[in-house]
Amino acid sequence: MRVGFIGLGSQGGPMARRIVEGGFELTLWARRPASVEPYADTAAKVASTPAELAAASDLVCLCVVGDDDVREVLTGESGVLAGLAAGGVVAIHSTVHPDTCRELADIAAAQGVTVIDAPVSGGGPAVEEGTLMVMVGGEDDVVERVRPVFATYSDAIVHLGALGSGQVAKILNNLLFSANLGAAMSTLELGDALGIPRDRLCEVLHRGSATSKAVGSITVFGGSLEGLAPIAGALLQKDVRHAASLARHAGAPEGTVFHVADTALRLMEHGR
C-alpha cells in the first residue's frame, strides 16, 4: 500500500517516520519545506501539492489541526481529492467534529474515495514506542485494509463502529482529560489552603491511587497549567465545544464532567 501523509507536527511527524521505517512507500507534503527536511534520511518522497501526493497514494493520512484545515487540504483546488484515484482511502487522524467526517465522506464518495476517521491519543512519545491509541470509525473492510499501516505506530487500534464513531470516542476522551485537569487543580488549591506543599502533593497524587495522565501533566509543569496551556489549551477548548455540540444534538444534559472541564479551560484562559 502506497501511503501519503500530511501534517508533520509533534505527533504526525513521528507517525510518518514509523510508516516509512515500517516498509511502506511514503509520500509527504507540507506547506513549509523545513517540515519535510527531517525525512531526508528516509526513503520518503516529497510532493509539491496535496493532489500530487494523493496521485501517488492508495491511502492518505491527515494529521492537521482542525476541521477547517481538513476541509482545505482535502477539497482545495490542489487538494487531496483532486488527485486521489477511485478506490483510494482518506484517514482523518485529526480530531474534528464527526459531522465534518460525514460531510467530507459524501464529497469523496462521488469520486469513489472512502473516508474513515482515525483520531489518535498518546502524543509523540507513544508514537515512537509504537503504542499510540487509534480510534477508528468506518467500514469494516476498509479498516482492515489500512490496519497494517496503523500498526506501524499503534498497538491499540480500536474499531468503534460507523464513520464518525472514532471522533466521538476521542472527543469524550478529551472531555474527561479536561475534567481531570480541572479536578486535579481544584484538589491542589485545597491542599494549598490546608498547608500541604504543592510539589509534595503533586508527588502523592501522581504516585497514589488518584493518579491520571492529567495529574502527570500537571506534575511535569510544576503543579500548574501554565506550561500546558500554550500546548493544549486551544485544542481542549475545541474538543469540549465539540462534546457540548454532540450532547445538545443527542438531547443529553452536559452534566458534571463539563462543569469540571470548564474549570480547567478557564485556568488555561480558554474558557468555553
Exposed/middle/buried for 247, CB within 10 Å: 0-12, 13-18, 19+? middle
Residue at which a domain ends, from 142, 162, 182: 162
Place of cell 487509534: 134
Residue at which a domain ends, from 162, 197, 219: 162
Query: Does residue 236 belong to any structural domain of this protein?
Result: yes
Does 85 lie in the same domain as 183? no
Q: Which of 156, 158, 151 is nearest to 22 (CA)?
A: 151
Does 210 lie in the same domain as 102? no
Identify the pLDDT of residue 197: 97
Does 139 lie in the same domain as 24? yes
Q: What is the CATH number of the domain that holds 214?
A: 1.10.1040
- To the query of whether residue 238 is one of the catalytic residues in this protein, the response is no
**Buried b vs exposed e over 111-138: b needs ≥16 C-beta within 10 Å?**
eebbbbbbbbbbeeebbeeeebbbbbbb
How many domains in the chain? Answer: 2
Range of the structural domain that residue 236 is part of: 168-267
Identify the pLDDT of residue 22: 97
Does 147 lie in the same domain as 44? yes
Q: Which of 45, 170, 213, 238 is catalytic?
A: 170
Query: Does residue 62 belong to any structural domain of this protein?
Result: yes
Query: Does residue 189 belong to any structural domain of this protein?
Result: yes
Residue at which a domain ends, from 138, 162, 186: 162
Q: What is the DSSP string of 144-192?
A: HHHHHHHTTT-SEEEEEESTTHHHHHHHHHHHHHHHHHHHHHHHHHHHH
Q: What is the CATH number of the domain that holds 43?
A: 3.40.50.720
Does 148 lie in the same domain as 172? no
Identify the pLDDT of residue 228: 95
Does 214 lie in the same domain as 98? no
Does 196 lie in the same domain as 90? no
Query: Does residue 217 belong to any structural domain of this protein?
Result: yes
Give the pTM: 0.94
The three grid cell numbers given for residue 192, joined into one nine-digit string: 494549598
CA dihedral 26, 38, 65, 169 (to 10 degrees): 60
Does 201 lie in the same domain as 118? no
Identify the pLDDT of residue 120: 97
Does 206 lie in the same domain as 104? no
Contact indicator for 120, 135 with CB cutoff of 8 Å: yes
Does 257 lie in the same domain as 143? no
Query: Does residue 175 belong to any structural domain of this protein?
Result: yes
Does 259 lie in the same domain as 201? yes
Query: Does residue 205 belong to any structural domain of this protein?
Result: yes
Spans of the chain, pLDDT less than 50: none
CB atoms within 10 A of CB 37: 12
Identify the pLDDT of residue 45: 98
Exposed/middle/buried for 43, CB within 10 Å: 0-12, 13-18, 19+? exposed
